[in-house]
Amino acid sequence: MAVVESSPATAAPRTHPETGGTLTIDLDAIEANWRTLSRKLLTAECGAVVKANAYGLGLEPVTAKLAKAGCKTFFVADIAEARRARTRAGDAAIYVLNGFAPDAADAFIELNVRPVINSTAELAEWDAFVAARDWRGGAAIHIDTGMNRLGISADEAAALALRLRHENHGITLLMSHLACAEIADHPLTANQLRLFRELRMLYQGVPASLANSSGIYLGDAAHFDVARPGAALYGINPTPGRANPVRNVVELAGRILQVRKVPQGNTVGYGAAWTARRASRIAVAALGYADGVLRAGGGIDRKSGGAAVVAGMRCPVVGFISMDLACIDVTDLPSGTIHRGESAIFIGEQLPIDDFGAAAGTIGYEILVRLGPRCHLVYRGG
């Protein structure tokens, strides 16, 4: 990963001379988003999903920021992420979403973290392990309520509820995952809510968790005891089709290497995919799909693509984005406005990550987790 620096909330340099791109991550905005979601949850606890390196933005700094803000429950994908989170999360509860791995069993005790049990076979392995080690760390039970990905069945969950008759049943959280919470009025969401509510009644006294980022906006019926926001913490809109209720978190800037003239009728980039319909000026920026700016995010002759902000103006990205470079049509900027060494903003306040994802035919999540492997990283508000 590129050099990382901290920065105050004041404006930081857009680009760094040793890298083509600069990714600025606003930790204060992440905390503000968590607090916004906490207020909407009323009395329910607001946890935080920091898997996938906190959606690509840095598991350690994000976890530290949220733990300091008061977050008490974190969710990671695997033990390796749990190990990193534990260094910043103090005594917080940490749940491992991908469950119990027998080969890494001792790490659950070492780190004091909890598996999310996703099958009855996994539960048997976990029970054998904790019995052998006399461990009382607890585990979550994941019920599949209709996503058909991970989790025990509803019938298995109903049978397992008899376990609560024992004082040391070891279940610290009951959870499921909404498949379509971001799609307004999707019938699967109502079915999942109903089924989870019915099963939760069998687990009296055990905290329950269902709502992801979009699920939070379904109202109190989806909140239960602990919510698990991820994407919304990082600025992705949890309410597609409506104004984004959370703050932008990232800015991605690329250093302009050259501004060149392209005659009318000439093409730009690999595959000659974009043709200049007028005499044009093209700014070539040092960002490409090796930096997470997907190849399909540029405009080609048969469709429009993404955009970049250059000298304060939104300009179209043209031609296929290549591994290291992206081309921007700056013809509408007054001549002499933009020069080599200045910056183009690909994601930021004026260019939400959801919009850039849509231009590339994907979602903001995929763009977010791909950003930054080569970029200079700047953290604000650390």
Specify the pairing of strand 4-7 against strand 226-227: unpaired
Sequential DSSP letters for 249-282? -EEEEEEEEEEEEE-TT-EESGGG-EE-SSSEEE
Asked if residues 196 and 210 have their Cβ atoms less than 8 Å apart, the reply is yes
- pLDDT tops 60 at residue 160: yes
Q: Which two tokens stand for residue 306?
A: 């993404």
Asked if residues 76 and 95 have their Cβ atoms less than 8 Å apart, the reply is yes
Q: Could you tell me what percent of the chain has a pLDDT over 90?
A: 87
CATH code where residue 84 lies: 3.20.20.10
Residue 125 sits in the same domain as residue 261: no
CA atoms within 13 A on the CB side of 303: 10
- pLDDT tops 60 at residue 25: yes
When divided into structural domains, the chain yields a total of 2
CA distance 185 to 116: 29
Rg of the chain over all Cα atoms, to the nearest angstrom = 24
Asked if residues 170 and 162 have their Cβ atoms less than 8 Å apart, the reply is no
Residue 83 sits in the same domain as residue 199: yes
Label residue 18 by pLDDT band (50, 70, 90). confident
- pLDDT tops 50 at residue 29: yes
Asked if residues 321 and 294 have their Cβ atoms less than 8 Å apart, the reply is yes
Q: Which value, to the nearest 10 degrees, does the dihedral of the CA atoms of residues 212, 245, 219, 178 take?
A: -20
Asked if residues 98 and 77 have their Cβ atoms less than 8 Å apart, the reply is yes
pLDDT of residue 7: 57
Range of the structural domain that residue 277 is part of = 250-380
Q: Which residues are catalytic?
A: 51, 270
Residue 18 covered by a domain = no
Among 164, 123, 125, which Cα is nearest to 140's? 123
3-state helix, strand, coil in the chain (%, to 5): 35, 25, 40
- pLDDT tops 80 at residue 159: yes
Summarize the confidence of residues 74-86 as an average pLDDT.
98
Residue 49 sits in the same domain as residue 117: yes
Residue 305 sits in the same domain as residue 346: yes
CB atoms within 10 A of CB 315: 21
- pLDDT tops 80 at residue 48: yes
Specify the pairing of strand 139-142 against strand 171-175: parallel
Asked if residues 19 and 371 have their Cβ atoms less than 8 Å apart, the reply is no
CA distance 249 to 188: 31
Residue 216 sits in the same domain as residue 255: no
CA distance 55 to 371: 9
Residue 100 sits in the same domain as residue 146: yes
Residue 43 sits in the same domain as residue 145: yes
Last residue of a domain, one of 199, 234, 269: 234
- pLDDT tops 70 at residue 4: no
Total number of residues shown for the chain: 382
Whole-prediction pTM value? 0.94
pLDDT of residue 13: 46
HEC letters along 353-372: HHHHHHHCCCCHHHHHHHCC
